[in-house]
């Protein structure tokens, strides 16, 4: 019988977390990152206590965390959410369970807004976020226009 545990991320989890993040990078639709950051860089980019893993049969199969959206103090209650599930564990509802814990814990830590930047082609992530109470507040198109302009010149 599979047992899923959602728990705070520990330092020992970081290699598995980065392995799952690498899978996301390789999809080409999860992040603008093209290389996996070092453990130190990843650690520095994410909130120290608002990071959780899903563990199944003693193996990390997913993670969720918050990064600051700005260094300005007026944005201290706004966080950028990242959630990644290993390729063999997708579709089991793990991301929703991670989200529930993150939302609850982020409110305790004083976060009043959570946001995510999602590629329009990543429909499963958009559906997940909507299910968790997120709404689309805008679509960035300037990047595409800049790329087209460069191609035309």
Name the token pair of 105: 């814990």
- The pLDDT, as a whole number, for residue 144 is 56
Kindly report, residue by residue over 18-39, the tens digit of the pLDDT: 999 999 999 999 998 999 999 9
Kindly report, residue by residue over 34-76, the tens digit of the pLDDT: 999 999 999 999 999 999 999 999 999 999 999 999 999 999 9
Phi, psi at residue 45, to the nearest 5°? Answer: -80, -15
Beta-strand (E) ranges in the chain? 4-8, 51-56, 59-68, 78-85, 113-115
Is the pTM value of this prediction over 0.85?
A: yes
Q: Is the pLDDT of residue 151 over 90?
A: no
Measured CA to CA, the distance from residue 149 to residue 153 in angstroms comes to: 6
Kindly report, residue by residue over 100-143, the tens digit of the pLDDT: 999 999 999 999 999 999 999 999 999 999 999 999 998 877 65
Phi, psi at residue 3, to the nearest 5°? Answer: -120, 125
The residues, ordered by sequence, that sit 6+ positions from 122 with a Cβ below 8 Å of its Cβ are 29, 30
The residues, ordered by sequence, that sit 6+ positions from 53 with a Cβ below 8 Å of its Cβ are 6, 7, 8, 9, 10, 13, 16, 17, 60, 62, 63
Name the token pair of 75: 């944005």
């Amino acid at each position: 019988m599979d047992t899923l545990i959602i728990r705070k991320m520990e330092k020992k989890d970081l290699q598995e977390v980065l392995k799952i993040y690498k899978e996301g990078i390789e999809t080409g639709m999860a992040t603008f990152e093209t290389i996996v950051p070092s453990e130190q860089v990843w650690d520095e980019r994410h909130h120290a206590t608002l990071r959780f893993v899903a563990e199944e049969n003693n193996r990390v199969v997913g993670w969720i965390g918050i990064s600051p959206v700005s260094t300005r103090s007026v944005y201290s209650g706004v966080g950028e959410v990242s959630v990644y599930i290993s390729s063999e564990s997708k579709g089991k509802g793990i991301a929703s369970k991670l989200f529930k814990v993150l939302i609850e814990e982020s409110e305790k830590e004083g976060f009043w807004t959570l946001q995510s930047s999602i590629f329009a082609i990543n429909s499963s992530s958009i559906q997940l976020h909507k299910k968790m109470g997120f709404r689309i507040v805008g679509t960035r198109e300037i990047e595409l226009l800049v790329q087209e302009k460069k191609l035309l010149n």
